[in-house]
Structure 1
Amino acid sequence: MTTHIPPVVARTTCWWNFRPGPGGRVSGSELIHDAVNLFSFADAGGVTAQDSYEVDRWTNHGDPQQFQGVPFAPLRAVVAGLVPPTASTLPCALAPGASLLDPVLAALITTPNGWKWRPEVDRAEGFVFPAVLATAEERRLAVHLVSLRGAVEARTVLMGKLNVGTVDLVVNGGRPTQQAERLTIDWGPVFRAGRAAIVTRLRARAAVVQRPPSTDEAGREMNGIIAADMFAASPALTRLQELNLIAVNGRDGKPFKKEHGTTKMVDDRSGDLHAAYNHIRFLLYLEWRALRELL
């Protein structure tokens, strides 16, 4: 006789810790750091288990291969199918706001209608695990991926706020050929180009940069992988490169410059542009590393 094993039901509450910034405001970085995800598992027999997870510990302190040994072959097959080496495009079309992690999570859990990847403070979201997640190690992987997807969602929302829409320039300032230019940046194609570069690395099974790209060395390494394709996807960013206001391999790791020669930004947006680019770069790193660990 076959014994039926009921699915495991998990409920997760995600608390986001806020620390006031200058002037009582909360900065974007504080909105997405120090998050603690609390999970409560209950099976059909009423047995409960608790778990907690901090994405920052994995991001900043974890072994880049810490989940590679998880024996969950079905999930690995999904990841391999997402980035087949011989394909020229992604098998799935990602809608705005979607993540490369979504097809993996769809194979891992079932979510209700109206599911939000970033739960509101103190509100529990319920989802169902398949019964195959029988070991603590596999359950820990699920906790990791659900928490990470919440972090990706938070960063995606913040990305929309950080993206710089326009940059005003004075070209050939002080010369007879002086002219004003306004560049309008569409960040959607920029993000998609960076993601395509990451998918190429996944298909090649290339090693992930060893540290988060917010560190100088890893940031320059990541720039070498994604920057050229990302900047080429935007006529405005291409123009900034032509005017030498982008230096991908700059010593400070920040590719955007406020001026070069007789050309400069009317208002210095170099820091804002770097924040927008760095945020996308970090989000791509999260997706790349998470999927690479599962291959």
Structure 2
Amino acid sequence: MSHLATYPQYQNSADWQLRVADRNGLALHGAAALVTPHHVVTCAHVVRAAVGDAGPGSRVHVDAPRGADGWTAMAQVLPDGWWWRDASPWDVAVLRLDRPAPARPAVLAGPARVGDRVRVVGFAQSPSGRWVTGSVAGSGGSHPEYVQIDTDPGTGTVFTRGFSGGGVREESTDALVGIVCEAATEGRLGWMIPMTEIRPVWESDRAVPPLPTPPRPRSRRQPPDDGAVRRAVTATGLAMSDLDTIASPDQRRSFHQGLDRRLRVRVRLDQDPRTFAASLVRLAHHEFDLLAEVLDQLDAWEEGSASMRRVREAAAPLLEWGSG
């Protein structure tokens, strides 16, 4: 049985950092961090630089030069995804892409701590980016919510035009800590807006079309009995819990962000992998008839792994029988 693809296949080397240009895609104005397959976060001043009198509904051009050459999209500021000077976090825009990005979204980190090692890639005078490394120094800058980053002494790259909106990454994990918003002292100091200060409006954005549902066959074979369905659900959950995407807390968190909202609000991230997978399979199959879509999303993460093939085999009877 074939299924419609939910997202384009993630490219192995594609990065979650995108570039922001004007409506025509000609002038580079900054960067943006991918937080779901459909949403990016950047600075409001980056959008203003791209389109002038900006705000909710403004559209900018984005592309993905780091491992996904040729991919472009338009991104529109969400109605409740705009903060510019009049409220905390002061300089943030959350935008919806008109097509899903070909990279895995960033994993969100916890609060930054003084001394944490971080790194940032920006696109100043370099189409694929230049790296700045440094350490978290503490809160500061133009607002108390902002966090200062001291660049490493003697570093060859400093914060310049093109870094604004760029994702600040934990050096050891690449998890997203915040976005660059300001710089001083000829770029040797920078400030970021922590992700913990940005309201995750992407989680409640209902304007993204629901994931496509494959056409259901005109008739489906009835399961032999309820026990057979329970056994198939259990087997699928067990096989799913062995996937790297589910077993890894960071990957599971990113995968969870991309689920249909009906599943996302019901499946808890604080569960162990087996309980998480069992709950996901049960809800997707019995309550929402979304199991095929969930499997397609997992396929995009697992890239055809042997473990994913075992999940497909376990779930095949459920797909044939339907949700009933």
Structure-2-length-normalised TM-score: 0.25
- Structure with greater proportional helix content: 1
Structure-1-length-normalised TM-score: 0.27
Specify which structure has the bigger relative contact order, considering alpha-carbon pairs within 8 angstroms and separated by 6 or more residues: 1
- Structure with greater proportional strand content: 2
